């Protein structure tokens, strides 16, 4: 599993290497440090390592290339999903390294991120940002078309309480969807609110973070799971 490095260290290291975007496993570590539910994430370096770990992680497994030089991973073959055996995992690993190194020969490869795919839930997005007037703020919205087309999101200035977060969640236009539709159960709003509160804490305690996306977050009728974390740093804290 990924190591538990304190957030300050992760950030310091990234900045010292001139990286303004945390690597996937670093961003996951950061989230985990604040108690945000993420999958058990492993950074593996060789197909053998991946092969040996697969059974204990459980299936389906996802692999993602980790490199400071690759922004759009799937465009260069850096993402492999729905792998259902250790053989598949090892094969996918080899393929991935081959494709990536042929498409982006100059890319530095840190390793491959390996984790059990989260069960599909209702996709939501939680974010943190730093506003020049108000400082740290958080965002909540439904994923996919709701956020991209309708911009149906709500904000709060940090710090916030769990009640603030719950209010913020119920503020979006399409909140009906959270209540369950077409026979689906309502999602666990408390679990989502908890993630929003923790995101506000990340923003308040780490001045160097410019913004953070937890996108998507899978919302279930009981609990929630963050599937992807993206954290952007800034150089001069003001």
Partner 1 sequence: MNTSLEKLFNPASVAIVGATPKEGKVGRAILENFINRFRGRIYPVNPSYSEVLGLKCYKSISELPETPDLVVIAIPAPGVPAVLREAAARGVSAAIVISGGFRETGTPEGERLERELEEISRTYGIRIVGPNCIGIYDNWSGVDTYFVSKMKRPPRGYVGFISQSGAFAAALMDWMAYHNLGVSRAISYGNKVDVDDVDLLDYLGDDDKTRVILIYIEGLKPGRGRKFIEVAKKVVKKKPILVYKAGKTSRGGLAAASHTAAMAGEYGVYRAAFKQAGVIEVESFDEMMDAVRIFLHQPSMRGNRVYILTDAGGIGVMLTDALTSVGLEVPRTPSDLKEELKRILPPHCIVENPIDLTGDTDDERYIRVLDVLVEKPYVDAIVVVALPQVPGIKGTFVDHVVKLKSEYEKTIVALTIGSEASLEVARRLEENSVTVFESPERLAKALKALYTYSMIKSRGD
**Binding stretches for partner 1 (CB under 8 A):** 20-21, 125, 127-129, 131-135, 137, 139, 141, 147, 151, 153-157, 164, 168, 210-213, 215, 230, 232, 238
Q: Nearest approach, Cβ of 153 to partner 1 (angstroms)?
A: 5
From the number of C-beta atoms within 10 Å of its C-beta (0-12, 13-18, 19+), residue 214 rates as buried
Q: Nearest approach, Cβ of 14 to partner 1 (angstroms)?
A: 14
Distances in whole angstroms, Cα of residue 80 to Cα of each of 39, 55, 92, 112, 237: 16, 17, 7, 10, 37
Residues in the chain: 238
Instruction: Please name the residue ranges forming H helices in the chain.
Output: 7-16, 24-33, 47-57, 86-103, 145-148, 162-169, 189-205
Residue closer to partner 1 by CB (options 136, 187) is 136
Q: Nearest approach, Cβ of 53 to partner 1 (angstroms)?
A: 30
Q: Nearest approach, Cβ of 106 to partner 1 (angstroms)?
A: 22
Residue 102 phi, psi (nearest 5)? -80, -30
Q: Which helix (H) or strand (E) holds 41?
A: strand 41-44
Neighbours of 16 (CB within 10 A): 8
By the 8 A CB rule, do 172 and 141 touch?
Answer: yes
- Report the C-alpha gap between 185 and 176 in whole angstroms: 12
- Report the C-alpha gap between 201 and 144 in whole angstroms: 25
Residue closer to partner 1 by CB (options 101, 173) is 173
Residue closer to partner 1 by CB (options 139, 177) is 139
| DSSP type of residue 21 | B
Residue closer to partner 1 by CB (options 80, 198) is 198
Q: Nearest approach, Cβ of 22 to partner 1 (angstroms)?
A: 11
Residue closer to partner 1 by CB (options 61, 203) is 203
Residue closer to partner 1 by CB (options 88, 213) is 213
Q: Nearest approach, Cβ of 183 to partner 1 (angstroms)?
A: 29
């Amino acid at each position: 599993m990924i190591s538990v490095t304190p957030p300050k260290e992760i950030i310091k290291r990234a900045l010292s290497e001139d990286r303004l975007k945390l690597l996937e496993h670093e961003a996951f570590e950061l989230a985990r440090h604040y108690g945000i539910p993420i999958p058990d994430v492993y950074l593996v370096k060789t197909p053998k390592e991946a092969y040996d770990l697969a059974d204990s992680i459980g299936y389906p497994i996802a692999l993602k290339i980790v490199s400071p030089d690759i922004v759009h991973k799937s465009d260069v073959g850096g993402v492999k999903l729905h792998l259902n055996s250790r053989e598949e995992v090892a094969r996918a690993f080899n393929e991935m390294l081959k494709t990536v190194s042929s498409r982006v020969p100059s890319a530095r490869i840190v390793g491959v991120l390996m984790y059990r795919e989260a069960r599909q839930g209702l996709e939501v997005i939680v974010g943190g940002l730093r506003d020049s007037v108000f400082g740290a703020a958080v965002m909540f919205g439904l994923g996919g078309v709701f956020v991209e087309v309708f911009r149906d999101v709500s904000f709060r200035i940090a710090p916030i309480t769990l009640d603030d977060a719950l209010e913020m969640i119920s503020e979006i236009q399409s909140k009906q969807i959270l209540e369950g539709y077409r026979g689906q159960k309502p999602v666990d709003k408390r679990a989502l609110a908890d993630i929003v509160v923790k995101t506000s804490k990340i923003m308040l305690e780490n001045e160097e973070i410019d913004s953070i996306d937890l996108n998507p977050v899978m919302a279930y009728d009981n609990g929630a799971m963050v599937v992807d974390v993206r954290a952007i740093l800034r150089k001069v804290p003001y």
